Amino acid sequence: MENIIEVRDLVTSFGDRIVHDGLNLSIKEGEIYGLLGPSGCGKTTLLREMVMLQKSNSGSIKVLGHELNYIENEEAQQLRQKWGVLFQSGALFSSLKIKDNIALPLIEYTDLSKAMIDEIVEFKISIVGLKSEDANLYPSQISGGMKKKAALARSLAMDPKLLFLDEPTSGLDPISAREFDALILKLRNLLGLTIVMVSHDLQSIYDTLDSVAIIDEKKIVYEGNLNNIKSVKNEFMQTFFGKYNE
């Protein structure tokens, strides 16, 4: 299968503090790919670099065939419509209702009629498991789990090929978290998405991920599927995965 994201020799630093020192990874089409590692290892930073919120110091990131370092304005704009991003806290626009949050990219980027947009919004709301009466609420009026679902619906608005999730289950109760995992799997199968996520939730990692990359000590210490993960000698991984498997 084709590589959708390729990261080569990535170096990132904040001032004197080096976060990534020569990262390499590749994400294949159709898989659910997890970025794992101890806190402060730069998982979220890597995710932010992939969605062009932050620049790396050197190295290259290729997303859907576009080299992010040399991307033109127009090209970047097109690329942004091909992916969806779910932020940790949802980041719904607080001045808009849920349905308007989801409709916003459709209104901006397409010339669909209002009736058509309403229908698409209804579909996205139901696919993520929200009730249609929730659509008229403002983000401040709904719970954390609903916010995540609404934000997921917004990131799916343009039918992206690629979805970035930053700690999708953090801050959710275990039941909602499992529901969310099931939802992600369902969406992958339904819509053929490629999903890149940062996660700390072990259950969610085992339930959803096809492959993982583990970042520790500024480098990738493991990349591949979860079956061989115990053979790797790394302090973080042994504490993280060790207990669970015994």
The pairing of beta strand 66-67 with beta strand 58-63: antiparallel
Please identify which residue in 36, 51, 128, 152 interacts with other proteins, judged by CB under 8 A.
Answer: 51
DSSP letter for 135, please: G
CA 149-154-155 angle, to 5 degrees, is 95
- Position 129 contacts other proteins (CB under 8 A): no
Q: Nearest 5 degrees, angle CA 21-CA 25-CA 30?
A: 155
Q: What is the C-alpha separation between 16 and 9, in angstroms, rounded?
A: 18
Closer CB to other proteins, 104 or 226, in the complex = 104
> For the chain, percent helix, then strand, then coil, each to nearest 5?
45, 25, 30
Question: What is the rounded CA–CA span in Å between residue 30 and residue 191?
Answer: 10
**Least separation, in Å, of the C-beta of 139 and other proteins?**
9
Whether 105 and 154 have beta carbons less than 8 Å apart is answered as yes
- Select 91 or 127, whichever has its Cβ closest to other proteins: 91
**Binding of other proteins at residue 107 (CB under 8 A)?**
no
Contact between 218 and other proteins (CB under 8 A)?
Answer: no
* 138 is a contact residue toward other proteins (CB under 8 A): no
Q: Is residue 53 at the binding interface for other proteins, with CB under 8 A as the rule? A: yes
Nearest-approach distance from CB 245 to other proteins, in angstroms: 27
Pairing of strands 162-166, 83-86: parallel
Region near other proteins per CB under 8 A, out of 59-67, 90-98, 197-205, 215-223: 90-98
Q: Is 16 in the site for other proteins (CB under 8 A)?
A: no
Contact string (CB under 8 A) for other proteins, positions 173-202, x = contact? ------------------------------
Q: Report d(CA 96, CA 80) in Å as an integer.
A: 21
- The residues of the shown chain that bind other proteins, judged by CB under 8 A, are 48, 51-53, 73, 76-77, 80-81, 83, 85, 87-89, 91-94, 104-105, 108-109, 164
